[in-house]
Chain A
Amino acid sequence: MDVFSDPANLQLYIDSFLMILKLTGASSLLALVLGLLLAACRVSPVPVLRAVGAGWVHLFRNTPLTLIILFCFFGLYSAVGVEFSDDIHVNNYWLAVTGLSAYTAAFVCEAIRSGINTVPLGQAEAARALGLTFAQNLRLIILPQAMRSVVAPLGSIVIALTKNATIAGVIGVAEASNAMKTLIEARGDQTIAIFAVFALTFVALLVPVGYGFSALANRLAVRR
């Protein structure tokens, strides 16, 4: 374990996981906003908007994330000249966030859409029969029920996103998998210890999140 007693290595390890958290934080926020908009499109009565939502979902859900993030770098940045910052590290970070958010938004959209679909038709019919307007129906009847059944799938999405953040390493973001590679290359004799530390950090981060979300989902579940 003495590989981590070197302060430089310890710092590399800590920074790499802070980077994972930063990637996950920014991407989950952006993906949630974008996913909500896409879900609104997919359930809207306007065919064009439904097609936009469906198109986005099919495009991004079926493409490997590696390809999307590579495209953000080689396509958007190198070829087309999209630039977020003069600092190459900051720029790569935002390019990775762009790819992660665009990809994850497709899954968020589907989770929210299927959440809306779990609300029984009778609920909305009863609301309309009582004279509730569209906005009231959405705010008082449908969304409160739909949001509850979306909690569990959103939890899975956050967990997947955290793990997916490692793929940002492919465009040079200093995240956990790159840091692990660097440490193994420097101290190969301690490979098992290094892998154990990185892997168990992910376990320690994600297993509680998983249990937390499923406990929350159970608590909020609509009993039917």
Chain B
Amino acid sequence: MSASVLYDHPGPRARLRNRVLSVVFAVLLLAGLYGIYRAFDGTEQWTWQKWEPFFGTVIAQNGQPVNFWTDYALPGLLATVEAAALAMLFALAFGLVFSAARLSDHRWVRVPAGVVVEFFRAVPVLLMIFFLSYGGFWVFGTFVEPFWSVVIGLTFYNGSVLAEAFRAGILAVPKGQSEAAYSLGLVKSQVMRMILVPQAARSMLPVIVSQLVVVLKDTALGYIVAYPELMLEGSKSYAVFGNVVPTFFVLALIYIVINATLTLIAHLLKRRADRRGVTNPGTRAAAANTAAAGLGDGGGVAA
């Protein structure tokens, strides 16, 4: 390990101690993993019969050939990506409009925009989705399809989070930038468009990609309102094959691979932005703050 705030560079004795501890904890870890293995083994979760559906086409109980990947996972993944992409697009638009509104010079624009953003950040996405799915008929006179309740629910929540992130990014651009622009005779909309937004946008790119992870995970809420995304489609596998535990492991793995890739991209973008010096200290701090908040939200609400 390189320089750590906690430890000095290890000397011979510390290195020996760390090696001994490594062995001890490795043994404990293996014992723990073996315990988990046995717990699942006791209920026959590792039998080939339960894992076979993930390695090719299998004849189901009703005599139909079923392929987990082409019948369930890929259509589900497509629906997940579709909902996530559309929600992200709308959320970006929402975030842009509301961050601009919150930075407005007019009180009657700024205050309502702030209320809207605070409201949607505090309401769980699932509550929004239920409101649209079950109450949509009464409010709009027509049933809201599961796809749209997921997309709209995700848009309002993530749009509000992005609005705050964009606002923080713009506020963090050094004051001299806008002062210089005004003194050159630019008007407010020009200062925003030509000076502040371009500088804030670059440091906001990693934040946007991180938020995409939140959106992608939250599409799994579609399961609850019967939107056929990855979670719901995947669950058909254990309805057919009775392999609950293996199915959950495979589904989790799919989500983890996608989200870890997105997180890696966000990380690389951030490093590139830092290296190029496109971020000044202020925007960097703002991006770090919003990223931390985004982390917490990773749950994002949901999930």
Contacts and interface: CB of A to CB of B under 8 A. Distances in A.
Interface of A: 43, 45-49, 52, 58-59, 61-67, 70-71, 74-75, 78-81, 103-104, 107, 110-111, 114, 116-117, 119-121, 123-124, 128, 134, 137-138, 142, 152-153, 155-157, 159-161, 163-164, 166-167, 169-170, 176-177, 180-181, 184-185, 188-189, 191-192, 194-195, 198-199, 202-203, 205-207, 210
The CB with the most chain B CB atoms within 10 A, among A81, A153, A161, A195, is that of A195
Given A67-B248, A104-B299, A203 B119 contact: yes
B300 A66 contact: no
- 6 tightest A-B CB contacts, nearest first: A156-B296, A64-B220, A191-B135, A62-B259, A65-B303, A163-B124
A114 to B, nearest CB: 7
Given A66-B223, A177-B126, A198-B127, A124 B6 contact: yes
Given A66-B302, A181-B130, A192-B135, 8 more contacts: A64-B217, A64-B221, A70-B223, A74-B244, A79-B45, A107-B299, A128-B8, A164-B302
Contacts of B138: 184, 188-189, 191-192
A157 B296 contact: yes
Interface string B39-51: 1101101000000
A107 B124 contact: no
The CB with the most chain A CB atoms within 10 A, among B122, B131, B135, is that of B122
By secondary structure, the A interface counts as helix
Contacts of B127: 166, 176-177, 180, 195, 198-199, 202
A107 B296 contact: yes
A63 B25 contact: no
A107 B138 CA distance: 38
B299 A65 contact: yes
Contacts of A142: 5-6
A43 B39 contact: no
By secondary structure, the B interface counts as helix
Interface stretch (B86-94, B200-208, B250-258): B250-258
A205 B121 CA distance: 12
A139 B139 CA distance: 57
A66 B5 contact: no
Nearest to A52: B29
Contacts of B244: 74-75, 78-79
B260 interface: yes
Nearest to A150: B292
Contacts, number: 224
B5 A107 contact: no
12 contacts: A45-B1, A64-B219, A64-B255, A74-B238, A107-B299, A153-B295, A166-B127, A169-B224, A188-B137, A188-B138, A195-B135, A199-B123
B65 to A, nearest CB: 25
A46 B131 contact: no
A22 to B, nearest CB: 16
Contact of B124 (A74, A111, A177): A177
The CB with the most chain A CB atoms within 10 A, among B8, B18, B260, B301, is that of B301
B165 to A, nearest CB: 13
A157 to B, nearest CB: 4
